[in-house]
Structure 1
């Protein structure tokens, strides 16, 4: 049996942990080498030394690149936090937006990007032109793991319960709106449940979670993320014999307008998206005989971000720009 010989951690070069973090981010040796500005050979050599020190493979080859082992996933948060503390101690200077060169990684849906982040992007173009925002899909079921590992800085979406390690900030509130094509048989008259349920529905499930979702939320490592806003589909009513027929389920909003324009289907959308469709002239909203379901859009981040001056500045800008937007 092969015997693993461990090096003393007292003699481990701290740069090896920078290589570890880079591979965790990119999931590839070549990607890490580009991020660090060194050769792929240097990254491979550093990984070999760190594997010897830790006594674990740390990364193995998989279909999607370098896959971290359970041991790597366990130590990643501590390494990220330790490197962050060292960077803070060495920097010893305030974050200057106009001079900062940095990449922030954010997970957001198309709603989060178009409604929440576009205002921030416009502001950063003026106040912090050297910052880069990389927007990743909110639809992935591992965004919280990426947040834990430091591969994401922020996640923008709808949430319920959060674990203690995750911080949150309210950005805005939105509510559901019923949308149909202009000229729909229901347009211009009261939309009772019985009348609505005579028509098929289009539902947007941001994660494509289907039956995994509970009351519109799915559990992602202890973070409850909302995957749709649709009270009619979620809630049953003993007084109404009919039930909603979901004819189409999508992971995005982009195709909803065209589907509604070509059919008599009904969609329940966030009011801000519905308002854009109505203003374009091809759709109308319906009045429901129930108070609309309201959802709070938030930004969440890992607790280690509390010591990150740059991230805290970005959060402040995001909160300020979203709260300055007009209410729906």
Structure 2
């Protein structure tokens, strides 16, 4: 039978019987007679060509065919309900709160530009920024506690989506007046100075090339390829300080002869203040794409998709 000839109310009866495991329980929840529920089930059984529910130890047990089609039916009912209840997203007067996980780099370099635009186009929106260095950000994304995570990623599971926000590269930063400034630099000379390294989780547990695995999401927590990939035992850098954020790096560099490898956009912000300098790399820099990732449920969220569009658009000219 064509689905066009099936009363959609029958699927709501299916959902309720599946939940209650009884005709009488479903009738009470739906506010109709038990006879009406039985009649609806009979019509749906005829349409599907299966018994759907049979008596069992725990009440009306779903048949294998019912279990097979249940996810699609429940998802379809949820989508219909969302379509009816959800109003078109209007950014100019929406007071919605978006929850985003980002590093201080992501907040300073990426989200600041977005916030500047939203202040004009969506002044009532609220952005709540959560730390990227938490070990449970992916769980929070899965559970709906976060809308977006901004960072550097490799592999993602199928239920997560991604979009590129910008591409950055690594740069070496030192204080103004550092002995390396104005001097030819090779790996040995560079490694003769201690390093300050940003390891975003603070755990010290890096996987290959600075990535960690959380629920199938490989996210980068260390951008310093120079230290990770070196295999020359005669040229090993000394990591004097490892910390989970970028904000403290300029102060540490100003007070010492330490060296830091940072994303270039962050390095240029520091250098533009006039107290630090960017050195020429003695190797080809690592380029990394900063991305926004979200749960697949967000594909049907008009507000989130609008925000993603604004984010990507505002970074095109960055």
Quickly name the TM-score band, shorter chain normalised.
0.7 to 0.9
Which one of the candidate residues 260, 267, 277 is aligned to 1:267? 260
Q: Partner residue of 2:132?
A: 138
- Say whether 1:123 aligns with 2:117: yes
Q: Say if 2:284 is the partner of 1:291.
A: yes
Q: Structure 1, residues 67-100: CA drift from partner, whole Å, max 9, x if none?
A: xxxxxxxxxxx9xx78973652223642211122
2:308 counterpart SS class: helix
What residue is the counterpart of 2:250 in the other structure? 257
Q: Which whole-Å deviations, capped at 9, do the CAs of 1:88-125 have from their partners, x for residues lacking one?
A: 22236422111222111110110111111111111111
SS across alignment from 1:268 = strand
Give, in angstroms, the shift of residue 275 of structure 1.
Answer: 0.4
Q: Which runs of structure 1 show a deviation greater than 6 angstroms over 4 or more consecutive aligned residues?
A: 11-14, 81-84
Corresponding residue of 1:195: 189
Structure-2 separation of matches of 1:111 and 1:227: 12
- Contact (CA 8 Å) 1:190, 1:288: kept in 2 or not? no
Compared CA separation, residues 237 and 95, structure 1 to 2 (3 A) = same
Q: Distance in 1 between matches of 2:307 and 2:149?
A: 13
1:241: Cα distance to partner? 1.1
TM-score (norm 2): 0.75
The answer to whether 1:319 aligns with 2:308 is no
**Which residue in 2 is equivalent to 1:301?**
294
Note if 1:163 corresponds to 2:157. yes
Q: What CA distance in whole angstroms lies between the structure 2 residues aligned with 1:106 and 1:191?
A: 39
Is 1:8 aligned to residue 20 of structure 2? yes
Q: In the aligned structure 2, how far is the partner of 1:252 from the partner of 1:281?
A: 21
| Structure 2: distance between partners of 1:280 and 1:217 | 31
Which residue of the other structure, out of 215, 218, 222, is the alignment partner of 2:212? 218
CA deviation after TM superposition for structure 1 residue 212, in Å: 3.8
Q: Secondary structure at the match of 2:289?
A: strand
Q: 1:230 aligns with which of 224, 235, 247?
A: 224
Deviations 1:13-63 (A, max 9, x none): 89xxxxxxxxxxxxxxxxxxxxxxxxxxxxxxxxxxxxxxxxxxxxxxxxx
Q: Calculate the TM-score normalised by the size of structure 1.
A: 0.73
Q: Secondary structure at the match of 1:189?
A: coil
* Cα distance change on mapping 1:86 and 1:146 into 2, 3 Å: farther
2:168 is aligned, of 174, 177, 183, to 174
CA-to-aligned-CA distance 1:127-184 (integer Å, 9 cap, x gap): 1122111111101111111111111100000000111101000000111000111111
Change (3 A) 1:109 1:308: same
1:250/1:11 Cα in 2 relative to 1: closer, same or farther (>3 Å)?
Answer: farther
Q: In the aligned structure 1, how far is the partner of 2:275 from the partner of 2:309?
A: 37
Q: Could you tell me how far apart the structure 2 residues matched to 1:321 and 1:83 are?
A: 36
Distance in 1 separating the partners of 2:81 and 2:301: 10
Change (3 A) 1:90 1:281: same
Query: Does the 8 Å CA contact 1:209/1:218 hold for their aligned counterparts?
Result: no
Is contact 1:205–1:249 with CA below 8 Å preserved after alignment? yes
Q: Which residue of 2 aligns with 1:186?
A: 180
State how far apart, in whole Å, the 2-side matches of 1:184 and 1:89 are: 61
Question: Is the CA contact 2:205–2:212 (under 8 Å) kept in the aligned structure 1?
Answer: no
Among 224, 233, 242, the residue aligned to 2:235:
242
- Listed as ranges, the gaps of 5+ residues in structure 1 are 1-6, 15-77
Asked whether the 8 Å contact 1:168–1:300 carries over to 2, the reply is: yes
Unaligned runs of 5+ in 2: 1-18, 31-71
